[in-house]
Amino acid sequence: MSTTVAYLGPAGTFTEAALLKLRSTGVFGTSEITPLAVSSPALALDAVRSGEAAFACVAIENSVDGPVTPTFDALSAGEGVQIYREVDLDIAFSIMVRPGTTLEDIKTLATHPVGYQQVKGWMAENIPAAEYRSASSNAAGAEAVAEGRVDAAAAPERAAALFGLETIADNIADFSGATTRFVAVGPRGVPTPRTGNDRTSVVFSLPNEPGTLVNALTEFAQRGVDLSRIESRPTRRKLGSYNFHIDLIGHIDDTPLAEALRALWLRTEDLVFLGSWPAETGEGGEDKLAADLARLEQATQWVNNAREGKE
């Protein structure tokens, strides 16, 4: 049976490449998938919430441009979804044009705003007079070239073959080694089993009172739980009201992390669990976490001995 997976389309985006990489992890439960191309991360997650798709593949973070804010906003827009896996994808662009077009002919270039951060240096050096045009995805920029709406696009190499374009420059990346992290998002369910090298994500809001954020974060510090990322995004309910997204090193099955989340729940106005899943790369905290868990077990045994009248 085929599994429908929504992603930022059309075909030929980096998100599609990440979807295929995620398929090899087995997160979708089958090797047969039916890609469902949509025009935004929000629509991809909405497809999961509505049951139109079993999973969504969305970009969540870029090493050059930071967090992919439309994804964070879409994750905060409603409950019912959860992250189950991540993959990191190296990012480099091809500059593609309609057959016969030269560098001198390029007056407009389209790509996704995140992609633009990786090619604007190349544009300034090679086509300084060209105007940048925002596209909903890199492949949508290539599609715009094929339809004659812009002269060039910066997109994955595969997009040129899909849209009948010619490539006039390859491996364009103003910052070498640029990477984007993509995640597989599905309906709410049991988290991916603990591996010992895991990531947990939650989003929460706090009362607008002095010290609420530092007190909330202290719950993690006191238990030795490391944060690998924290972002704030407006709730869009009122001015000065924010959602805080945090990534934690560890799994919800790790007792210190679970206890920290329990304590956080008592402090927040709203707390949403976004998942625990295997981290693509190690964060360097595995040895410390193992030591903390062993120490916690010793403490538990001490309490049990005291209850039972033992030394």
Question: What domains appear along the chain, each with residue ranges and CATH number?
Answer: 1-90+179-189 (3.40.190.10), 93-172 (3.40.190.10), 190-311 (3.30.70.260)
Question: For 182-232, what is each residue's pLDDT tens digit?
Answer: 999 999 999 999 999 999 999 999 998 899 999 999 999 999 999 999 999
pLDDT at 201: 97
The whole-angstrom separation of Cα 159 and Cα 169 is 13
Q: How much is the mean pLDDT over the chain?
A: 92
**pLDDT value of position 235:** 82
pLDDT digits (tens, 9 = 90+) for 22-47: 999 999 997 799 999 999 999 999 99
Q: Is the pLDDT of residue 106 over 70?
A: yes
Q: Supply the DSSP symbol for 77.
A: S
CB 155 within 8 A of CB 12: yes
* pLDDT tens digits along 52-62: 999 999 999 98
User: In this predicted model, which residue has the larger pLDDT, 302 or 214?
Assistant: 214
285 has a pLDDT exceeding 60: no
Total residue count of the chain as it appears in this document: 311
pLDDT tops 90 at residue 119: yes
87 phi and psi, to 5 degrees? -140, 150
Residue 86 φ/ψ, nearest 5 degrees: -135, 155
Residue 295 pLDDT greater than 80, yes or no: no
Res 86: pLDDT: 97
Measured from the Cβ of residue 25, the count of other Cβ atoms closer than 10 Å reads 15
pLDDT of 127-142, one tens digit each?
Answer: 999 999 999 999 999 9
pLDDT of residue 48: 97
- pLDDT exceeds cutoff 90 at 264: yes
The secondary structure element, H or E, covering residue 38 is strand 33-38
Q: Is the pLDDT of residue 107 over 80?
A: yes
Assess whether pLDDT exceeds 70 at residue 290: no
pLDDT in tens, 143-167: 999 999 999 999 999 999 999 999 9
CA distances from 141 to 53, 115, 147, 152 (A): 25, 11, 10, 8
Pair 156, 138: CB distance under 8 Å: yes
pLDDT at 287 over 70: no
